[in-house]
Structure 1
Amino acid sequence: MALPNREGQRVPNVTFPTRQNNEWVNVTTDEIFNGKTVVVFSLPGAFTPTCSSTHLPRFNELAPVFRKNGVDEIVCVSVNDTFVMNEWAADQECDHVRVIPDGNGEFTDGMGMLVNKEDLGFGMRSWRYSMLVKDGLIVKMFIEPEVPGDPFEVSDADTMLKFINPMATAPRVATVFSKPTCPFCLRAKSMLEDAGIPYEEITVGNSGITSRTLRAVANAGTVPQVFIDGDLIGGSEALQAYLQSENSNAA
């Protein structure tokens, strides 16, 4: 039997028992959805590979763009208890995503998305999907195809963003390999900040990321090494040339 598309219907009326600040707090669907535009994505389980490596982090990364396009909140739902979901949230990049534990599967069942994953030892879990909800009314659903395994083709953050605004663009992000005492690293980070490009900083040293790792990744042993959207730009001079070229093209 095909999984139901519930566009045009209201979300199920459910109360979620959650654990917040060492206390039990009931969260209702009315609180989550009433009077708000909410993007929901649901997945088979916390700590599972695709959910942790791609699904959740990308929604979190694009959250500022969703907000600029009228989305009040992004909610992740999984059939896990609140303790598991809290630990997963603490382990993940999800400061812009609200994780909701559907421990009893009541919301997921109401959506018609509760599926049997006994073959994996999971029991009953959610099929992977995403949806846009306005004031409790489901406007759009992206449901993964019903094929074996755990397909991840249409419920991703980029697909949802494109539906909301086909002209929306994802923000550029940078990665900077650096050392604490390196003046060229400080210069590179300053240039990224001036250009409005958010970055993560990876410190090269004796523990963790070493010069050998840097050579393997960037084919270079000097810092900084700057990547923008996954593309290697190079050191501070290369970054300056890259940004100047962008400014020239924009003019």
Structure 2
Amino acid sequence: MAIKVGDRLPEATFKIMTADGPGEKTTKELFDGKTVVLFAVPGAFTPTCHMNHLPGFVEHADTIKAKGVDTIAVVAVNDLFVMDAWAKASNANGKVEFLSDTDASFVKALDLGLDAPIFGHTRAQRFALIAKDGEVTFLAVEESPGEATATGAAAILEAL
């Protein structure tokens, strides 16, 4: 059963790029004692993700954070080098954290994996959530991976 409002996020470890090279960040480090907006995309640089979904969060990062959000993060089932390149290409560094769920273990634990033959392996469904101290207080999942309305920055701003 998919995660829902009121549930705690599962333990997971993401791959991230640090100033010193590849690193890791746990869900405990990301969520404990914080208010976090986390959105997921089927893939870095894919059309809807790159041109529609991510740009709203980059553009409205300050407004979202002004509403009490400590961190805005995006997760995808891509390797950390792709996620790092996407962060740089999107001018999102310092606004959005880029998390690599390399083996899809996090999205599978949420029961929000997407099996689409075009990708060749499990990816994340397009979703967005707000978590306070690791508990989900808002969750939206798009009906179609090509849509980014219910999970976009405007929807998150309304939910906050």
TM-score normalized by the length of structure 1:
0.60
What corresponds to 1:114 in structure 2? 113
| Counterpart mapping for 1:155-234 below 5 A | 155-164=151-160
TM-score normalized by the length of structure 2:
0.93
Q: Determine the C-alpha separation between the residues in 2 that align with 1:67 and 1:21.
A: 23
SS in 2 for 1:19: strand
1:141-177 Cα distance to aligned partner (Å, 9 max, x none):
01111x5x5232310110110111xxxxxxxxxxxxx
More relative contact order, 1 or 2 (CA 8 Å, 6+ apart): 2
SS in 1 for 2:114: strand
Which amino acid in 2 is paired with 1:104?
D
What corresponds to 2:70 in structure 1? 72
Query: Structure 2: 5+ residue runs without aligned partners?
Result: none
Structure that is richer in helix per residue: 1
Q: Determine the C-alpha separation between the residues in 1 that align with 2:151 and 2:112.
A: 13
Is the CA contact (8 Å cut-off) linking 2:42 and 2:125 kept in structure 1?
yes
Query: Structure 1: 5+ residue runs without aligned partners?
Result: 165-251
What corresponds to 1:231 in structure 2? none
SS in 1 for 2:139: strand
Is the CA contact (8 Å cut-off) linking 2:48 and 2:147 kept in structure 1?
no
SS in 2 for 1:108: helix
Q: Determine the C-alpha separation between the residues in 1 that align with 2:96 and 2:19.
A: 18
Deviation at 1:87, TM superposition (A): 0.9
What corresponds to 1:94 in structure 2? 92
Deviation at 1:55, TM superposition (A): 0.8
Deviation at 1:41, TM superposition (A): 0.5
Aligned-residue CA RMSD (Å)? 1.5
Q: Determine the C-alpha separation between the residues in 1 that align with 2:5 and 2:105.
A: 19
What corresponds to 2:29 in structure 1? 31
The answer to whether 1:151 aligns with 2:147 is yes
Is the CA contact (8 Å cut-off) linking 1:59 and 1:157 kept in structure 2?
yes
Deviation at 1:22, TM superposition (A): 4.9
What corresponds to 1:17 in structure 2? 15
Deviation at 1:54, TM superposition (A): 1.6
Is the CA contact (8 Å cut-off) linking 1:132 and 1:141 kept in structure 2?
yes
Is the CA contact (8 Å cut-off) linking 1:39 and 1:71 kept in structure 2?
yes
State the aligned residue count: 159
